[in-house]
Amino acid sequence: MLLGKQGAGKGTQASRLADHRGVPHFSTGDLFRAEAKEGTAHGLEAESYMNRGELVPDPVVVGVVEEQFRRGTFDGGFVLDGFPRTEFQAVELDRVLDGQPVDLVATLDVPTEIALARLAGRRVCENCGTVYHVDHPPKHDWTCDECGGNVIQREDDTEAAIERRLELYEREMLPIVQHYRRQRRLVVVDGVGTGDEVASRLAAAIEARVGPDVET
């Protein structure tokens, strides 16, 4: 499980890690964005909170996560990204996992000024979610290199919503960090540096705890 403030590189690292380990990458934010685009009831409810930078209410979030576990999506393992975001969600996750705690909770540590700069320049593919930055745009005219989708600025990457999200993060994350520290599952990984540097730090932390990945 990856934790870290917005702009810490959680989504990018979670996706790399999931590919590397051959398990699903589950991001509650991506799921809500996809559902909002499809216009499902959950998606539309979530969208109003997301656009303001507020957290989606716990029962909605826990409901969608539990549904994925029930469907067996995570039977072979998983990388969780953006969940849990509240202590209630962390306690509910323990219940859903039914006595089989997550292997490792890694928090990506990045100073707020760096996170802010990353977020303000962040652009994402509205189709597949690939992340770019104004300093590292796609090759052709804001068209995604991976899927050809439109690369746009997320509605909640505005200055006001970013500030609100970072403020909420500080408040909500502390009890979660303590929850996993008590379970001795938490490692802090330095999230400053290139994607490759952070990925290799993360891989080393995981290997030390959980053992080598499937390919080695």
Positions in the binding site for ligand AMP (CB under 6 A):
6, 27-29, 32, 49-50, 53-56, 61, 82-85, 89, 156, 165
Catalytic residue, candidates 33, 85, 118, 123? 85
In the complex, the smallest distance separating the C-beta of residue 82 from ligand AMP, rounded to whole angstroms, is 3
Active site residue 165: yes
In the complex, the smallest distance separating the C-beta of residue 28 from ligand AMP, rounded to whole angstroms, is 3
Q: Which of 41, 212 has the CB closer to ligand AMP?
A: 41
As a whole number of angstroms, the distance between CA 12 and CA 67 comes to 24
Beta-sheet pairing, 186-190 with 105-109 = parallel
Active site residue 201: no
Active site residue 164: no
Catalytic residue, candidates 21, 122, 123, 201? 122
As a whole number of angstroms, the distance between CA 180 and CA 70 comes to 24
Catalytic residue, candidates 118, 123, 165, 201? 165
Q: Which of 115, 202 has the CB closer to ligand AMP?
A: 115
User: What is the full DSSP assignment across 146-191?
Assistant: TT-PBEE--GGGSHHHHHHHHHHHHHHHHHHHHHHHHTT-EEEEE-
Active site residue 181: no
Q: Which of 9, 84 has the CB closer to ligand AMP?
A: 84
In the complex, the smallest distance separating the C-beta of residue 58 from ligand AMP, rounded to whole angstroms, is 7
Identity of the residue numbered 56: V
Q: What angle do CA 12, 86, 95 make, to 5 degrees?
A: 100
Q: How far is CA 212 from the centre of its chain?
A: 23
Helix residue ranges per DSSP H, the chain: 10-21, 28-38, 41-52, 58-70, 87-97, 112-120, 159-182, 195-210
Active site residue 118: no
In the complex, the smallest distance separating the C-beta of residue 61 from ligand AMP, rounded to whole angstroms, is 4
Catalytic residue, candidates 16, 123, 154, 201? 154
Catalytic positions, please?
Answer: 10, 85, 122, 154, 165
